[in-house]
Amino acid sequence: MSTRAIRGRILTFLRQPEGQGDSDSYRYIADGIVHVVDGRIAAVGPTPEIVRGLPPGTTVDAWPDQLILPGLIDLHIHLPQTQVIASYGAQLLDWLERYTFVEEQKYADPAHAAAGARFFLDELLRNGTTTAVVYGSVHAASAEAFFTESARRGTAMIAGKVMMDRNAPPALCDTAQAAYDDSKALIARWHGQARQRYAVTPRFAITSTPGELAAAGALMAEHPSCHMQTHLSENLNEIAATKALFPEARDYLDVYDRHGLLGPGALFGHCIHLEPAEIARMAETGSVAVFCPTSNLFIGSGLFDWRRLEGERLRIGLATDVGGGTSYSMLRTAAEGYKVLQLQGQNLPALRAFDQMTRGNAAALGMVDEIGRIEPGAYADLVVLDAAATRAMAHRMETVRDLEEELFVLMTLGDERSVRATYVQGRPQ
């Protein structure tokens, strides 16, 4: 039996905060211990209460004055784009042609894919992200390399090989049958194994024929516990191109709906320019709209209308979208999300942002019993955050009066420098 106690200021969310000052939405312990046994949380509570029950020889990691939260969760990010991030001066479709497709072809090489997976997971963990929903390349080897590396580290990841059979370089095109066969083999090997889950991954409608979207739908029908990830309504030119390719569809979303790709496990990246009927249908099916603020700003796609979508009872997630996104940090992502909403007369309180990065994103994945909360039985995936990690942050913290202000400092000024430690199944990374 392995046992570890992690001591510090513990914060975990119980439900979605209703706004500033909603102290009933979270549990905060000013001096607490998370007791971890064999990778899962055995107990959590005030230090005097927990310390009495620790077995002899328990390792104690003390983080005085630091915040211990559930590991951060990223709902949309691209493995093959680690060397695409910070590519200059293009909007979506040009950006794919000029930069992304060039780099993704390299993932045909299993050695390159394995090296990319190592770097990618190193970077996520350095930023306090312990679970992510990940796009591979079109090559089955990219997903295989990623799952292998994630399983070695014990992280809970959701990923899939991209399905793409047109409007891309020949080296990045599969066929509907090959996409089905490769995905099915990966599902059999990895879905539900070693904390890995599979996401059926048609890149987006422009790069899939109706036959390949049908293959994706067949995979979801055969494996309903899998997730599905794709892109939706990111860019106006993308929407126009999709409508030209699928004139029979009522709207962009209907392209996916006709092939059985909506539902509670469906994650649609961006969702900036949705029509009213699309919003209603996504809400009806329990599909998730994933907000990718740094990517939307960098590529010039538009502003995500959180208030409108939430008002229509649409489920929402938050994500970095590296490499269109400009940071692996969920803290930086939340900061940019705050600015996107400010431009529209909306707001993102710190409580809501930190809930979204943890419990909220776990709920969007249907995994809230396993990750996203510090509760007995959950995996001990944790992040230790320092709100005084830089001189500017420490200077600002001299005037901070309460927890919510501290969280807002972390959200606005924080990045990987604020991550003092990341734990996966109670093991420091």
Q: Global pTM?
A: 0.97
pLDDT at 201: 98
pLDDT at residue 90 in the model: 75
In sequence order, what E strands does 176-240 have? Answer: 196-202, 227-232
Mean pLDDT of 329-352: 98
In this prediction, residues 172-179 reach a mean pLDDT of 97
User: CA separation (Å) from 425 to 40, 62, 118?
Assistant: 6, 17, 18
What are the backbone dihedrals phi and psi of residue 119, each rounded to the nearest 5 degrees, phi first?
-60, -45
pLDDT band, residue 184 (cuts 50/70/90): very high
pLDDT confidence of 291, banded at 50, 70, 90? very high
Where is average pLDDT lowest: 33-47, 78-92, 116-130, 187-201? 78-92
The position carrying tokens 């570890």 is: 4
State how far the alpha carbon of 410 is from the alpha carbons of 265, 374, 404, in Å.
30, 19, 10
Domain boundaries, the chain: 3-70+376-428, 72-328
Dihedral, CA of residue 199, residue 321, residue 152 and residue 73, to nearest 10: -90
Q: Is the pLDDT of residue 44 over 90?
A: yes
What does the pLDDT read at residue 89? 75
Mean pLDDT computed over every residue of the chain: 97
The reported pLDDT for the residue numbered 153 is 98
Q: Which pLDDT belongs to residue 258?
A: 98
Give the pLDDT of residue 380: 98
Enumerate long-range contacts of 276-282, CB under 8 Å, 24 or more apart: 277/250, 277/251, 277/253, 278/233, 278/251, 278/252, 278/253, 278/254, 279/308, 279/309, 279/312, 279/314, 280/312, 281/253, 281/254, 281/257, 282/253, 282/314
Question: What is the distance between the alpha carbons of residues 163 and 94, in angstroms, rounded to a whole number?
Answer: 20
pLDDT in the model for residue 166: 96
Instruction: Give residue 384's Cα distance to chain centre.
Output: 18
**Hey, what CATH topology would domain 3-70+376-428 get?**
Urease, subunit C; domain 1 (2.30.40)
Average pLDDT, stretch 125-146? 98
CATH number of 72-328: 3.20.20.140
DSSP three-state, residue 418:
helix
Asked if 424 contacts 126 with a C-beta cutoff of 8 angstroms, the reply is no
pLDDT at 66: 98
pLDDT at 1: 82
CA distance linking residue 251 with residue 172, whole number of Å: 27
Model confidence at 91, pLDDT cuts 50, 70, 90, reads: confident
Rg, the chain, Cα only: 21
DSSP 201: E
| Phi and psi angles of residue 190, each rounded to the nearest 5 degrees, phi first | -120, -30
Average pLDDT over residues 193-204: 97
The token duo for 198 is 């599979």
Q: How many CB atoms lie within 10 A of CB 247?
A: 6
